[in-house]
Structure 1
């Protein structure tokens, strides 16, 4: 069975769905500390908060039951995860185990943060966990294994929709703007607003909203055009204009510019937000982390004009990785092996934290009883996009530029032209240095990605 067949088998299953302060490793803990009767201490960093209670429980179980003298400290970071990780490597205080994602693993690999795990893999593990080029493998070596994937959807308050007389979720940007205005008009007196995003981190906010609208409309969600192998943020213009219109209309929850994702979720659970865009992890969030007091549902993200010309990015293929700086790589792999055990992965799916990408798990996992989960199930419009070439652009990043425009306005055409110039300059430099390989694909058709869940 090839990779695509494995992935499709996994996705025939149903959708399955910060805590500790940061601290460095004990410099006195050597690789053989466990054998000497002392604990081998590991630090595990994750940026995920939707599953943090579950992960903490499993880490505690490992610490209590493992016979190797290993003790793992779980550190849950916020939206500053990437910057904090950079700093940790600069100060030689990097964690031992790192949560990697589809939009970070390539960057972390290029920076030399990750250690290959091939020497630890048995034939059974190689057969069970799909190898996915660029998503968990680089230059023939594996750096992570898949656990779950996620879909992206519009999450909406059914009660506010009914109150505002809205029959169905918006299918176009124009409808999104109009529906947000209607909800605000009938709910503002009670502190209810039409739309919100977690703009405390523009990258996080636009990465779960503008990105999926662009991808469903047939454009690369990070501004990269696979047909031309060039950056072009022009397709984002109507999306960013629509967001600015909602802000100007007063349809956004007050204070969104400083709103983090968990406070947003808390407000939505209380019934104060009509709509926002995010990942399938929200189903588990409203089951346990922020029990929803309202009726809500998930629907496909709107497109620019109502026509689906691409695919909503299906994200996944990686989960945990070992730090290249870890002095305890063997112990780190022991912990990773525990976390990748079928019982934990099965519970992860059954509790509604993600869509299993491991066939052996999805074949036996029961359907989770999680409210709202059906709206996140993979559909004919979901698909895996190619990985775009991330480059170290000079100056403000696209998300920051767009967010500033949403708040303050300006000449959006000029801002986009400047982004295109700076990103393509960085791309050319990365190609010239050999850090990036990028070739035009004139035959690339984003519509053909729909319904395909393997790279």
Structure 2
């Protein structure tokens, strides 16, 4: 599982040091190509896909050479703010797996507004992105990043464990989801592997399925509303009383539990599929069950890709972003990684629809929602408000009382006064 969320199974991160952490000051001779440096934290099963983009770009022309350094996300988040302020960082970076982090770089004037937008292969085709993605990276009418990827979360399930429990197929409704999680919890095996920290969030999906919300349209907490309390209580009861999942798991621990065949279900993104398959799991992938009101909803995940405001090569850097997000590049990336395309003009691609992994994740793109989109201090809202709240209620807390306390924390962080 990705992330913060950076806990995907797969390739080992390469920790850059010394000269490897410089970039914007890089230059090339007048007769040689322009050198661009890129930092990313993509270390999961999808990592080869990003490396291939860089390799293909470099092979496609001779005027620009891109070098990508892969580092742990926390290393990037510690070093990048000051590096970009001083002009010693990379030309381009994925600052974090959290799209909301772009806001802090906009505030410090550390990121370049993107102007090379439009139609055609040499432009950034923003009109072809999923609409939520363009909106997420636009501040005061200016675009400051492009999506490095786009993923939806689906329901992974262990067919062997389902068969042993006498369950023929994946759940399709919330009621079935909850009943199956309880039935599959037996003999040292958990029905569902849930993480509550250092993970891409799963709990908001459980809330959304039953009408709950984390924040409202005014960026105020919605946790204390009756709808949100009612959406959480059944799942909290299942975890606390029926022990359908261990509590306190990080994303990596939740993944490991499922990979070991000790959990029957897990909510995760496409980056997890290769690891589960290599672990020998008899793997099934299904859409998130339909919500109580009959609608489909899941979480959409993206990481921003932005350019330093101090880069010496803004034209070439935007050229690379145009290539990264181009139709042909994204088609190849989706086919190799299992990620759904971030472009709407690939939604009906026959090759992608025929892929059993890609098709499930791609089918949920229209129903996907970003987590805390452009909510002020979103990263802190999650880390200091929502995560402690979930950890409290799944151990020994009271959903209603703890929601009131969490709401106060969230409202203070977002500046909500209502």
Superposition TM-score, scaled by structure 2 size: 0.75
Matched, 1:427 2:414: yes
Distance 1:372 1:92, change over 3 A: same
Distance 1:129 1:398, change over 3 A: same
Distance 1:84 1:195 in 2: 36
Trace 1:270-281 onto structure 2 (pairs within 5 A): 270-281=260-271
Matched, 1:21 2:15: yes
8 A Cα contact 1:63 1:71, kept in partner: yes
Report the Cα offset of residue 264 of structure 1. 4.1
Trace 1:166-205 onto structure 2 (pairs within 5 A): 166-170=167-171, 176=177, 178-186=179-187, 188=188, 192-201=189-198, 204-205=199-200
8 A Cα contact 1:113 1:325, kept in partner: yes
Distance 2:358 2:32 in 1: 46
Report the Cα offset of residue 182 of structure 1. 3.0
Q: Give the 3-state SS of the residue equivalent to 1:231 in structure 2.
A: coil
Aligned to 1:402: 389
Q: Give the 3-state SS of the residue equivalent to 2:415 in structure 1.
A: helix
Matched, 1:382 2:370: no
Match of 2:216 among 204, 220, 225: 225
Gaps of 5+ in 1: 1-17, 432-439, 441-455
8 A Cα contact 2:33 2:63, kept in partner: no
8 A Cα contact 1:198 1:257, kept in partner: yes
Aligned to 2:117: 121
Report the Cα offset of residue 294 of structure 1. 0.8
Matched, 1:300 2:288: yes
Distance 1:309 1:87 in 2: 47
Report the Cα offset of residue 166 of structure 1. 2.9
Q: Deviations over 1:374-411 (max 9, x none)?
A: 44342598255796452336896223312431564234
Aligned to 1:437: none
Match of 2:208 among 198, 215, 224: 215
Aligned to 1:257: 248
Report the Cα offset of residue 157 of structure 1. 1.3
Aligned-residue CA RMSD in angstroms? 4.1
Distance 2:162 2:23 in 1: 59
Distance 1:332 1:370 in 2: 32
Superposition TM-score, scaled by structure 1 size: 0.70
Q: Give the 3-state SS of the residue equivalent to 1:115 in structure 2.
A: coil
Distance 1:179 1:363, change over 3 A: closer
Distance 1:180 1:79 in 2: 33
Match of 1:367 among 352, 356, 361: 352
8 A Cα contact 1:34 1:70, kept in partner: no
Q: Deviations over 1:348-393 (max 9, x none)?
A: 2223532224355456562365444444342598255796452336
8 A Cα contact 1:218 1:309, kept in partner: no
Q: Deviations over 1:406-452 (max 9, x none)?
A: 564234433211221232234336x8xxxxxxxx9xxxxxxxxxxxx
Aligned to 2:106: 109
Distance 1:79 1:354, change over 3 A: farther
Aligned to 1:67: 62
Matched, 1:333 2:318: yes
Report the Cα offset of residue 151 of structure 1. 2.7
Gaps of 5+ in 2: 1-11
Distance 1:34 1:365 in 2: 45
8 A Cα contact 2:215 2:372, kept in partner: no
Distance 2:86 2:75 in 1: 16
Aligned to 2:154: 153
Distance 1:428 1:158, change over 3 A: same
* Structure 1, 209-218 or 166-175: larger mean CA deviation: 166-175
Report the Cα offset of residue 42 of structure 1. 0.5
Report the Cα offset of residue 163 of structure 1. 0.9
* Structure 1, 50-59 or 373-382: larger mean CA deviation: 373-382
Q: Give the 3-state SS of the residue equivalent to 1:230 in structure 2.
A: coil
Distance 1:28 1:162 in 2: 53
Q: Deviations over 1:200-257 (max 9, x none)?
A: 51xx25x2x111122232333xx1123x66322134445266246425544335xx63
* Structure 1, 406-415 or 169-178: larger mean CA deviation: 169-178
8 A Cα contact 1:350 1:368, kept in partner: no
Distance 2:127 2:275 in 1: 27
8 A Cα contact 1:85 1:94, kept in partner: yes
8 A Cα contact 1:198 1:258, kept in partner: yes
Distance 2:261 2:59 in 1: 40
Match of 1:51 among 46, 49, 68: 46
Distance 1:171 1:82 in 2: 38
